[in-house]
Amino acid sequence: MAILERGERYGLEVLEEATRVPELGIAEGTVYPLLNRLEREGKLRSRWVSREDASHPRKYYSLTAEGAVMLAAMKEGWREFRFGLDQHLG
């Protein structure tokens, strides 16, 4: 969702950006099902875009307003968690 906050992306772009950070340990096979679920939950919207220079269409995803709210809440939760953990770790 944070990747899509930076703008509309198609599935493979999301996958490539997500796997660019190996520490996240994201398996390729999990990205498409996750996008599919977030779309069904109304957090993402998608559209198929046909291109003249390619034989296949691309499915572009973007955040919905509901998704943006959820992402903001998740970011806040993560900051609080990290702050709390840092307090303990010193």
Partner 1 sequence: MSSDSDSTSTSDSRPGTTAEYLRRVEARLHALPDRDRREILGEIRSHVAERYGTLADADAAAAVTADLGSPETCAEAFLAEYGVTETMSPGFGQWRRMLLVAAGVALGLAAITFVVFGLLNVLTPPSAGSVWFIWRDVGLGRYGWLLLFGTSLILAAGAGIGAAALLRRGRRPTP
Where do contacts with partner 1 occur on this chain (CB under 8 A)?
10-12, 15, 28-30, 32-37, 39-42, 47-48, 54-59
Contacts of 14 (CB under 8 A, 6+ apart): 3, 4, 31, 35, 61
Which residue, 57 or 77, has its beta carbon nearer to partner 1? 57
Which residue, 1 or 15, has its beta carbon nearer to partner 1? 15
Minimum distance from residue 78 beta carbon to partner 1 (Å)? 22
Within 13 A of 20's CA, how many CA atoms are on the CB side? 8
Minimum distance from residue 89 beta carbon to partner 1 (Å)? 34
